[in-house]
Amino acid sequence: MSVKNWSITWGGRTLSVEVGKLSLQANASCTVRYGDTVLLATATMSKNTRDGIDFFPLMVNFEEKLYAAGKIKGSRFIKREGRPSDEAILGGRMVDRAIRPLFDAEMRNDVQVILTALSWDGENDAQIPALIAASLALSISNIPWNGPIAGARVGRIDGQWKLNPTFAERLLSDTDIVIAGTPEKVIMVEAGCKEVTENDVVAALEFGAKEIGLIVEFIKKIQSEIGAVKFDRAANLSEVETKLLVVEKEVKDFVASHVEDWIFDAPKVNRIERVALLDKFSVAIKEMLVAKEVEDKIQTVILSRIKIYVEEFITARILEKDQRLDGRKLNEIRPLNVEVGLLPRTHGSGLFQRGDTQVLSVVTLGAPGDVQTLDSMEEEGTKRYMHHYSDTPATYGETGPLRGPGNRAIGHGALAERALEPVLPLETDFPYAMRVVSEVLGSNGSSSMASTCGSTIALMDAGVPIKKPVAGIAMGLASDNKGNWKVLTDLQDVEDGPGGMDFKITGTRDGVTAIQMDTKTTGLSWEIVKETFARSHEALLKLLEAMQQIIAEPRAELSQYAPRIVTVMINPEKIRDVVGPGGKMINKIIAETGVSIDIEQDGRVHITSSDAIGLEKAIAWVKELTHEVTGGETYEGTVVRLEDFGAFINILPGQDGLVHVSEISWARTNKPSDVLHLGDKVKVVVKEIDNLGRINLSIRALTPKPEGYEERPPMDRAPRSGGFSGGRGNGGGRGR
């Protein structure tokens, strides 16, 4: 293929596409450039099917390259990219959730979409060009896919919607929404909002959907010019796939024959009952397949899909009779249980349970220095609030190896983190680093939303002064290919089948804070979207009411086991006095008091400790180091140097002053060593700070003047030596 280029103006910037130059071994590849942000997308499909698996093997990888931003990895020992950053994982998940619904779920060829960031300009985020590049590569390839779609980011600045705001503009926006789909249908939504009303969120989505229409048509134009003929899967079914279709029809007929006496004979309220139902079908269908001598490979696939077959009939019953498997109404939330203060030594804890979904969220408060350092392609700086989602095989009543967090756990953690960010206290008011871990102890529908609720009550239990409580709800959908649909409140396991959606919405009483939506349909109509938001608001109010009955507001006091932070404001020019040469002074304070110290450039010194005595000692030490001496103050100092003309007294760490020989006593003193000795403790008063910043002290001024005292003329002495160099350390006093 020869190199071809297309471009279009979109959002005030040029979006350009190039095909035929890079990665020519893939089924299709392209580069998409927006501003100076450049993404390379490759789409590849295996030639052979993976018979015997029960899922469509799609892989989407976002490859974040530090060279794209002109960075070298911060580690001293590892300079190449390693494990994907959370940001890269979230970017890949976003694209996956947008393109996956448009594949044939029965396809068993491996498909991989790799998105590599080649250049990042610091203004345009890589996620939107990546989503467009993935759609374009799939559209022009021979891979069967029901696209194209496009995606856009929407912000709001000064009350006006903004298409694809830059990073700087996003800081000014109360809305950050990514939408993928077509102008007619929404396929994926990812959003973080600052308590934006449901109506405004819908307006933002409609604005974004309208704008992506231009890109969808742009991709269609390119596809019409260079698009490959799509692989005809139906005409190339493997022998196993052909047999599977026949057996599946028989299995579905068997399930249909037991809808009344097995599925809907009685409400299946808890997960144990629903698992027992699926097991009952599995045993019966296994016997049927063995009797028909169906080969093992097909049996494996059929038995792994029992839940999907049953879900189809559960969906049909909802559409026909508004009947849910557990007996709830369509807008009804499962039974709730809310508790706080469960753990004796943690800084805060909360248990949130909705039906069989149970989450224990635990708060840990730390010093400002405990913040997370960010060092990815698009992110740098620090993060003071961290939410981590954790589950185990036991969460799902299963067994399995324990590994680190997978992509799903990272995504769920990020969603709950984003949900709480708008209500967190300002760093200037609450300088703590905050980490919440949500231990998912039981999962049966929307554990991420239970984590959001659990985080809220745990933070309030810890005494973190959040502005408002936040709750989260997952909305579901029952729909068929005839256009029938019903929105479900509080989605759970067997309701998330074909034709469904997982529409997660978090918010306060006053507005939405986060959204994450994906669907198992070819897209949601605007009617469905609007009804979902209306119903979700009712559910959020019910959840907030249940939570506030247990804990209405943040506790007035932190846990006795939480560290205390005292902020001391100092003159920024005095920071060097606290740090000391090579960090010697600050390390000494930390070593002798057991505190941690974090210093901001504006002069805020955060001193953190769980030991009250050590904390007070460190505070006093910092105040002494940075105190600015003024006339009239009295000190008990130490004689540190004697000269013929006077004595140098250390009055504060790093700060010395001079008592002139004439200021030692009302009586004549021939030389200071006649009265004072090194190491003597003496009480002095500050007479003045001269125009060179030197501190002049007096001992005699603190004693009564003798009756009839007359000043004598000063004695003739040699000029005093030992010039001033700004004092010991950086105190601004006299040198020695």
Query: Residues marked as binding for Mg(2+)?
Result: 496, 502
Q: Which two tokens stand for residue 295?
A: 């080969």
- In the Cβ-directed half-sphere of 225, how many Cα atoms lie within 13 Å? 15
Evaluate whether 513 touches 423 at the Cβ level (below 8 Å). yes
Q: How far apart are CA 251 and CA 292, in angstroms?
A: 12
- Which class for 711: exposed (0-12), middle (13-18), buried (19 or more C-beta within 10 A)? exposed
Q: How far apart are CA 98 and CA 181, in angstroms?
A: 7
- How far CA 16 is from CA of 36, 240, 283, in Å, comes to 10, 43, 56
Report which of 145, 206, 190 is spatially closest to residue 526, judged by C-alpha positions.
206
Positive or negative: CA dihedral 308, 309, 314, 320: positive
Interstrand relation of 681-689 and 471-479 (parallel, antiparallel or unpaired): unpaired
Interstrand relation of 501-507 and 471-479 (parallel, antiparallel or unpaired): antiparallel
Question: Residue 390 is which amino acid?
Answer: S
Q: How far apart are CA 144 and CA 149, in angstroms?
A: 14
The separation between CA 380 and the C-alpha centre of its own chain, rounded to angstroms, equals 13
Report which of 125, 105, 138 is spatially closest to residue 222, judged by C-alpha positions.
138
If you write DSSP's letter for every residue of 74-121 in order, what string do you get?
S-SS--S--SPPHHHHHHHHHHHHHHGGGS-TT--EEEEEEEEEEE--
- Residue with the two structure tokens 């590892």: 78
- How far CA 151 is from CA of 23, 80, 165, 178, in Å, comes to 23, 31, 13, 7
User: How many Cβ atoms sit within 10 Å of the Cβ of residue 234?
Assistant: 9
Contacts of 681 (CB under 8 A, 6+ apart): 636, 637, 638
Q: Which two tokens stand for residue 668?
A: 């004549």
User: How many Cβ atoms sit within 10 Å of the Cβ of residue 668?
Assistant: 10
Question: Residue 128 is which amino acid?
Answer: I
Strand locations in 120-149 (E):
none
Report which of 626, 658, 653 is spatially closest to residue 642, judged by C-alpha positions.
658
Q: How far apart are CA 378 and CA 117, in angstroms?
A: 11
Assign residue 195 a region (left: φ > 0; alpha: ψ between -120 and 50; beta: otherwise).
left
3-state secondary structure of 726: coil
Q: How far apart are CA 471 and CA 200, in angstroms?
A: 19
Evaluate whether 41 touches 29 at the Cβ level (below 8 Å). yes
